[in-house]
Structure 1
Amino acid sequence: MPEIDFVELFARKRPEIQRSGTGEMVAAVLRQRIGEGDLPPGTQLAEEALAESLHVSRNSLREAFRLLAHERLISHELHRGVFVRKLSRVDVLEVYSARIFIEVAAVANCPADHRQLESALHAVGQAEEAALRQDWSRVATENLAFHQALVDSVGSKRISETSRQLLAEVRLAFYSMADSKAFLAPYIPRNRLIAQTLLSGRSAEAAELMRDYLNDSREQLSEALGLE
């Protein structure tokens, strides 16, 4: 299982945690680190080390664990501790059913002049640059940022929060692919095509492109997990 130096990780990516709502804020920090690939499946979330690294109490950390377990991002193993979850094929199918429902509707209702399209295109550009550097972990991060930007166009905090939780699970599923480049590279131009189709005012067409995209991704990931 992966061993993470939490002190080094949070020194590089120092979170801002305030006293009010500490458990929720710690959960948000860990969710983001999972979503950006810093905490891969199987990582043990050692309570003492994490509490010291984040400068929070163990009670706050346990509250964060409770929230993340509810979101299916971590699991408690008896007599062993807390670990970042490894998704199953059933998990992927359920997550993608929710993604298709949310993201296709978000794209279908996104106007050509929505400011979130700029964020989506920025994520595509960052992914293209990362691909040139062969940084496929960053490509994965920017891929999910693209999808989150489009969901954010809905303007609902609740829907955006749900999407962030789903995309964190998707990031865990990405680890099932043996060849990250072969899996991720074809989706970069598909992301750009969806954004450009939206910019041209063809939202219905963009929505169908997104539906096909998510169906293809679901099939690839579920097939990989079905072989494990």
Structure 2
Amino acid sequence: MKNILLTLSIVLGITPIIKAQITCLPCDMLGMSVNVGSSTNSISIYHSGQYMTHPRENNIFSWEFTDQLGNIFHQDTIVNDAFCNFSHNWSLTDTINVTVHLVNDSANLDAWYTNQGLPLNGNSINCLFTDQLYWSTGASTPWGSWTFIHGSPGIVVTNVNESQIVESNLKVYPSPSFNYLNLDGPKEDYCLQIFNIQGKLFHEMKNINGNQKIDVSSLPIGLYILKLNYNKSFKTMRFVKQ
């Protein structure tokens, strides 16, 4: 019987296809959703990245909720948990900006790229998600719920509008930085911007050239992205402020 099945498999071209086990998904296949039970004074948001990114115990979610003026309503860093739950007292007429940054330095998309027949890039998981919440009510009922407006997919932080600059000596130091950050910049004119991981602009310098000593003493402690706009290209580098 086994010989017959083997013969049929060969004749019919039924051959097993072995693929790598998928342990992570790309940023644009992950997202957020509001949990049932969120109310006028509490909210619970689920992020699919926790269950789709392995090893799960290394998933780090940095959450931030702000109003339209940039005032922070809630911030939290959550490890190995898909949910962000908290009570609030913001107005039901507000539109709330939601930003979450997912990082897992122990995870990568090698298995995904292998299954898709694509070359490996070796990058770890570094995804940024942004959306807005509003209180949605039905036309015939007073009851409502918090609803995401855009349903935006995640983006890869290190690939956002980035084109590698052919300039081997570009670097920033020290990291961590306390008061000053040194930049070995290009001789030609360039523009410089410093963002936090939520994408908020903290510092900007235009039409500069060469090396710079940047005062970062007023920056809050955390991870920052330094972006150079040079010769119609972009270069991003990260540093830690302590």
Structure (1/2) with the larger strand percentage: 2
TM-score, normalization: structure 1? 0.22
Q: Which has the higher helix share?
A: 1
- Please give the TM-score of this superposition, normalised by the length of structure 2: 0.21
**Which of the pair has the greater relative contact order for Cα pairs under 8 Å at 6+ separation?**
1
Q: Larger Rg: 1 or 2?
A: 2
